[in-house]
Amino acid sequence: MYAINIQLYAVRIHMNLLAQLLSSQVRSEIFRLLFDGRKPSIHLRDLQRQSGLSIGTIQKEIAHIKNLEVVTSERDGNRLYFTANSDHPLYKEICGLVEKTSGVAERPILSRKNLAAEEF
């Protein structure tokens, strides 16, 4: 009975982590920029420019993601750079989700370009 309770507790912890990871559009945009498989290191202002989100929103979300240990930060002088934590157990899965959702968004654009090229 004790072992079953421990297993259920472990499942709840992982499900809670998953819910926290996937519950925000801001977070999904940060994931798109950081988890594209290239391991980029991005400055806070670059995140703001590339995402179109406000600095305060990004700072709040980055702080939450850092608490989950999904993102790491490194200071270079007065600049703070953020990188996806490739040692996190969900790193590959998040990269896969980003790749799949980015690919879905780009397919209709490519299809329209191919159709336009065939018409001429």
Number of domains observed in the structure of the chain: 1
**10-85-26-102 Cα dihedral, nearest 10 degrees:** -100
Q: Which helix (H) or strand (E) holds 45?
A: helix 44-51
Whether the CB-CB separation of 83 and 74 falls below 8 Å is answered with yes
The predicted structure's pLDDT at residue 29: 85
Question: What domain range is 6 assigned to?
Answer: 2-119
Q: What is the pLDDT of residue 16?
A: 54
What is the CATH classification number for the domain harbouring 43? 1.10.10.10
CA distance 116 to 69: 45
pLDDT digits (tens, 9 = 90+) for 68-101: 999 999 999 999 999 999 999 989 988 888 887 7
pTM attached to this predicted model: 0.65
Q: Specify the pLDDT at position 116.
A: 52
pLDDT (average), residues 7-14:
48
